């Protein structure tokens, strides 16, 4: 029984806190939140705000990406959305989905689409990677290079023709459609900083689109979210994305028509090793 004179009344669920980052079982002081949880909440809120406004260290990121995927043509291509700056980007999401004129000019020097561009054989690359700051440059700086390294280990030797790696600043997910089409890639994968949560300012999302082109909706994309050491591990995310990429290339589709069946595949792999309590 708790001491009625103690400054903080504990919550009987406090033992469950070890299993989640969610703010549960914080106790109470009178009718209020105790000081320590309140200060922790304010810190998490500040970290989330900092992640949204943080600028991307492009030079360091480019160096890490080149080392993570050595097979891609050097150097990394630096691009920018039509949003002029961070404040503009946050107020005008539509501008973050399109490239500025200078970036389009850069890409036009790398690939000039033919009139038969919609024919798969006319696209020179199988895959393009777009690394975008999104709403958390911190997530990209911490997770993009190690994730690509894990993915490269899984895809090495499979004959993928990979376009020059692209870094896009002030970018939203859909900017990958324009970049993938401009490069002449059959598939594009966008690595982007996700909207920070109060326990995850460093979460990275992955978006795969087959035959990218301007005007596609989210229904055309496959998403893998919360890629970070405290969320979905790099190896697990690489396994999922490799499966989706392989299926997309074989079936020539993505989005709602392409299901992530990696859990089913893993269950089949470990058949015969189920829970003995259920036998």
CATH at residue 94: 3.40.50.11240
Q: Is residue 254 in some structural domain?
A: yes
Tell me if 179 is assigned to some domain: yes
- For residue 233, the model assigns a pLDDT of 96
pLDDT at 156: 93
Across-strand partners of 77?
166
pLDDT of amino acid 42? 83
Residue 11 has pLDDT above 80, yes or no: no
Please give the residue that has the higher pLDDT: either 111 or 223: 223
pLDDT per residue as tens digits for the range 156-166:
999 999 999 99
User: Is 101 inside any structural domain?
Assistant: yes
CA distance 1 to 9: 10
How many domains does the structure of the chain reveal?
1
- Tell me the whole-structure pTM to 2 decimals: 0.84
pLDDT at 231: 93
C-alpha closest to that of 184 among 155, 212, 218, 220: 212
Let me know how many helices (H) and strands (E) the chain has, helices first.
8, 6
d(C-alpha 247, C-alpha 260), whole Å: 9
Could you give the dihedral angle defined by the CA atoms of residues 88, 90, 92 and 97, in that order, rounded to the nearest 10 degrees? 100
pLDDT of 247 over the 70 cut: yes
- On whether residue 94 sits in a domain, the answer given is yes
Q: What percent of the chain has pLDDT over 70?
A: 89
Q: What is the per-residue pLDDT across 20-53, written as a single tens digit (0 to 9) for each?
A: 777 777 878 887 888 888 888 788 778 778 777 7
Parallel, antiparallel or unpaired: strands 204-210 and 221-227: antiparallel
Distance in angstroms (rounded) separating the CA atoms of residues 143 and 141: 6
Range of the domain at 88: 57-259
Residues 6+ apart with CB under 8 A from 155: 242, 245
How far is Cα 190 from Cα 206, in angstroms, rounded to an integer?
A: 6
Q: What's the chain's length in residues?
A: 279
Residue 52 lies in a domain: no
15 in a structural domain: no
Query: Would residue 9 count as lying in a domain?
Result: no
Output the pLDDT for position 113. Answer: 67
Instruction: Decide if 105 is inside a domain.
Output: yes
């Amino acid at each position: 029984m708790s001491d009625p004179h103690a400054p903080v009344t504990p919550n009987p669920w406090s033992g469950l806190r070890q299993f989640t980052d969610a703010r549960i079982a914080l106790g109470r002081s009178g009718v209020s939140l105790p000081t320590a949880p309140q200060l922790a909440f304010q810190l998490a809120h500040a970290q989330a705000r900092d992640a949204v406004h943080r600028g991307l260290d492009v030079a360091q990121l480019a160096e890490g990406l080149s080392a993570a995927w050595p097979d891609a043509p050097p150097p990394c291509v630096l691009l920018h959305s039509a949003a002029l700056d961070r404040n503009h980007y946050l107020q005008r999401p539509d501008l973050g989905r399109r490239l500025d004129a200078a970036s389009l000019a850069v890409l036009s020097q790398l690939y000039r689409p033919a009139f038969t561009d919609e024919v798969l054989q006319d696209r020179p690359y199988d895959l393009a990677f777009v690394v975008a700051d999104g709403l958390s440059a911190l997530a990209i700086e911490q997770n993009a290079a190690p994730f690509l390294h894990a993915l490269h280990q899984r895809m090495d030797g499979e004959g993928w023709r990979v376009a020059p790696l692209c870094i896009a600043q002030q970018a939203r997910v859909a900017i990958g459609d324009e970049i993938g089409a401009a490069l002449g890639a059959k598939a594009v994968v966008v690595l982007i900083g996700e909207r920070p949560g109060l326990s995850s300012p460093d979460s990275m999302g992955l978006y795969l689109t087959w035959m990218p082109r301007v005007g596609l909706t989210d229904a055309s994309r496959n998403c893998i979210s919360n890629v970070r050491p405290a969320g979905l591990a790099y190896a697990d995310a690489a396994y999922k994305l490799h499966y989706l990429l392989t299926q997309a290339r074989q079936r020539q589709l993505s989005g709602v028509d392409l299901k992530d069946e990696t859990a089913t595949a893993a269950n089949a792999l470990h058949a015969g090793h189920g829970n003995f309590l259920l036998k």
